[in-house]
A and B are shown apart, each in its own frame.
Chain A
């Protein structure tokens, strides 16, 4: 599904040039659950942003589902992204002004799903995440665990082929964290490809494979049994 080859990304300020990704090559197959680990500043988030088409690489190739997207325009990337990729963030990134229902509905609005269909699908996914009873609440009225469920509901409502999760349990206690990991595992078992950035060895154990980054390069790959 994903094949990146010799990917490079630099950050330049007036005086220094920092290399975030250094000729990185990775392949992820459809249906895989991959964890990316590494110390702070190793390039994990940069990689995730590029994979999520939120950012573009400076050099190298990024093939998504057989399409070269490394130098797509923002518009084309956005289009590809909204139909194929769901995001889960450490800080949830729910919109405070919208209710649970509306937050989850948002991706469907942007992909042009008709209203009746939207209600059906949102209710379906809220039900699955067991937060139906909170549908009319605002994010700040929910616990952290509940907020992350909403965020995951939002990420999957469009039935994306790929979910990118950026430390999804980082702001949660261990019990809520485990719940989230179970949810991701379920999704993966139903066929969704998942790439997750994490600091937690515990969480990483839920994945099939761990890619360890250091200074923008892949150093080790652990295959989980």
Chain B
């Protein structure tokens, strides 16, 4: 019996190859997309799943804002005042360093100095070296497997020497397996903190001396509560630094780091969990769409199958036997799609890592959990897509299905199909709205309302400020260089922050302001708009008077609404008296996730670490090449590196970019699957109405009116779908936008585009079949009836 079901399943697939293809293709895409989404979501939601993750907390600072970085002073004091903690450890992280191995020079990412306790908190997988002692001595370095291969090939790396930034010679004391990609503190090289003990002595007792990349972690003993630690923090602050109020040290669970968007100075920009729930939702929608296709195509074929059902019933088939038979056919199709889908996912995953900037690979498909998910998904798909058609088909009455070749339940099925098509259109439209909103927001992030120029500007590092003047002269004479400005960083680069107050304007308590050290060309080159007073000009190094240009936000904090009235006002910045010499219009100093903060600009040559160069757009490659040559002559011990400003700005939104890419891809897939179903449905409708079309043509109907006959109904369905999709899309995307301090407004345009897009998509899908049906010679279509 089962054999007969399988045989007939395959034969009926062969006979209706185009429907089977549409079904299997749709399901294949759906299954592949779901698996990829599942792995992406799982990767993100399992950030920082270290073995002891439940007991690891990051010590953070909440004074004015939430800062991931804390002073190096905290860890040693915590060891004394919190003896109940199993470990306290601190690291100093750098995004990249220059490494010299023998005569080879490299620039590599994810470097840290860490104390000897670090290893026992995070439990890496050791390939060589002793975890107990690897970081105990000065000048010891632990490498990942990948870097070890890069530097030493297959040779034993242990005991070999690596030079860091021309300053430190470190001996390899350990090799660890590469960290998974989902770590908030990615690491490739760890040098013992002992190595730089003398350099960081000053940092070790000042609570407010907070450097970028300074992280402190604690490891709680098993079965104890963080609340007990947290409650002792105020006394701890009072005892060691006489800090009485307005400062907290929140102990942040390590698994929250990736999702807590309040924090600044993270290595990896935190992301919102809801994004991944949304992605998961898309996966559901994709599967539903694929199942709807299945139901639509299967019930549409009901007429064809009704004779078979009738015959089988006459010959004594029970309804349950027919249901089993049709479920069997569904199972065969789903299993084919499953095999293809898993293969597609595996193929895609080999590329997806780089493309979506996420660390997943095809091997994860073999994990028991993933296999379990695949099995579950298969069963759900079989039931979702098989049950309804099986019940409908098996319900046909033999008398009517044999007599007329039509099926009793068919009219009802058609109404249901309309409902399903409406849901498919609604799903497409929601996804179109979503994609458009994300696209507009991405454009807004990177291009709109920045308040400064970013095009064709590169930023390079100046290793030695004393050589700035020589560098400037050389660059000025380089063809293709249009403008040069030295500063602590471009408008969008990480800021130094300091405290300021203005008692005369009611600001008695210290507030925080960003500080940028900029030269006299900065304002013009970046096109900053002065609202009042003068722009920054060159000041001799001996000049001790502090003159600042401030932004509008700072002026507003003083309660001054007219920028002109702010010029000449005195402030206290970093404890010293300063005068406002000019007011600049607000510009985007950080990402648009956050509100613009107060900012002051000051001329101070010793802090000009970076040169920004505006290049003639027509000769970018050649000019950068020449800049690199001049630079390398001046700084022979260093590697030339540059970054385009617009790329740097885009990097703020790497997470959003990732989501956007995923959104585009998966919405596209969902829409495509919907189209497949629609195509099948209209093809079927056309074949059913051949006779009607023939009669209409004999009576003189023009081709266009036949095409309209097929299109009219779908236009109506699209409209109905829009009334469902519009509000849902608006609500969902409106809530998403609330994640950002600066965001677009969802205008009517987006909805107009989305309904137009679905009409166009439907029209393209329908037109081929409709025109084909309309062009058939009526003699032929009537005869074939």
Contact = CB atoms under 8 A, between A and B. Distances in A.
Contacts of B397: 54
Contact of A107 (B315, B318, B402): B315
Contacts of A55: 399
A95 B314 contact: no
A103 to B, nearest CB: 9
A109 B399 contact: no
Nearest to B3: A115
A98 interface: yes
B310 A97 contact: no
Contacts of B313: 54, 78
Interface stretch (A81-89, A142-150, A195-203): A81-89
Query: What bracket does the count of chain B residues touching chain A fall in?
Result: 20 to 34
Interface residues of A, number: 26
A38 interface: no
Nearest to B310: A93
Contacts of A106: 312, 315
Interface string B3-38: 010011001100100000000000000000000000
B316 A87 contact: no
Contacts of B307: 93
Nearest to B10: A97
Interface string A44-59: 0100010010110000
A154 interface: yes
Give the interface centre of B11, B311, B315 by most chain A CB atoms within 10 Å: B315
14 contacts: A49-B399, A54-B314, A54-B398, A75-B318, A78-B317, A79-B316, A89-B402, A93-B311, A96-B308, A97-B15, A97-B308, A106-B312, A110-B316, A110-B321
A111 interface: yes
B245 interface: no
A8 interface: no
A102 interface: yes
B641 to A, nearest CB: 68
A25 to B, nearest CB: 22
Contacts of B314: 52, 54, 81, 87, 93
Give the interface centre of B311, B314, B398 by most chain A CB atoms within 10 Å: B314
Interface in B391-416: 397-399, 402-403
Nearest to B14: A97
B402 A93 contact: yes
Contacts of B318: 75, 78, 110
Given A93-B307, A110-B312, 12 more contacts: A52-B314, A75-B318, A78-B317, A83-B316, A94-B311, A97-B12, A98-B11, A102-B7, A106-B315, A107-B315, A110-B316, A110-B318
Contact of B399 (A54, A83, A102): A54
Contacts of B312: 95, 106, 110
Contact of B315 (A49, A96, A97, A110): A110
A82 B436 CA distance: 60
A83 to B, nearest CB: 8
A82 B15 contact: no
B541 interface: no
A93 B12 CA distance: 16
Contacts of B321: 110
Given A95-B308, A109-B4, A45 B403 contact: yes
B8 A98 contact: yes
Interface string B287-307: 000000000000000000001
A219 B363 CA distance: 80
Nearest to A89: B402
B354 interface: no
Nearest to B311: A93
A82 B310 CA distance: 13
A52 B314 CA distance: 9
Interface in A95-132: 95-98, 102, 106-107, 109-111
A95 B325 CA distance: 14
B230 to A, nearest CB: 69
Contacts of B317: 78, 110
B1 interface: yes
B410 to A, nearest CB: 17
Contacts of A49: 399
Nearest to B403: A45
Nearest to B308: A95
A97 B316 contact: no
Give the interface centre of A75, A97, A102, A111 by most chain B CB atoms within 10 Å: A97
A87 B310 CA distance: 12
Contacts of B12: 97
A111 B316 contact: yes
Given A93-B307, A97-B12, A154 B399 contact: no
A49 B400 CA distance: 10
B311 A102 contact: no
Contact of A96 (B15, B398, B399): B15
B316 A78 contact: yes
A80 B321 CA distance: 16
Contacts of A45: 403
A95 B316 contact: no
Contacts of A109: 1, 4
B14 to A, nearest CB: 8
Interface in A140-166: 154
Contacts of A82: 315-316
Contacts of A95: 308, 311-312
Nearest to A97: B11
Contacts of B315: 82, 87, 106-107, 110, 154
A97 B7 CA distance: 9
Nearest to A82: B316
A70 to B, nearest CB: 16
A150 B398 CA distance: 20
A2 B292 CA distance: 48
A54 B402 CA distance: 11
Contacts of A83: 316
Contacts of B403: 45
Nearest to B1: A109
Contacts of B402: 89, 93
B11 to A, nearest CB: 4
Contacts of A111: 316
Given A54-B399, A96-B15, A107 B311 contact: no
A102 B403 CA distance: 23
Contacts of B15: 96-97
Interface string B372-403: 00000000000000000000000001110011
A45 B4 CA distance: 32
Interface string A26-66: 00000000000000000001000100101100000000000
A83 B321 CA distance: 16
A163 to B, nearest CB: 12
Contacts of A93: 307, 310-311, 314, 402
Give the interface centre of A95, A98, A111 by most chain B CB atoms within 10 Å: A95
A83 B313 CA distance: 13
A83 B315 CA distance: 9
Interface string B742-758: 00000000000000000
B487 to A, nearest CB: 77
Nearest to B304: A96
Contacts of A98: 8, 11
Nearest to B313: A78
Contact of B316 (A81, A89, A96, A102): A81
Interface string B586-630: 000000000000000000000000000000000000000000000
B321 to A, nearest CB: 7
B674 to A, nearest CB: 29
A69 to B, nearest CB: 15
4 A-B pairs closest in CB distance: A82-B316, A110-B316, A97-B11, A107-B315
A94 B321 CA distance: 18
A75 B319 CA distance: 9
A45 B400 CA distance: 11
Nearest to B7: A102
A121 to B, nearest CB: 14
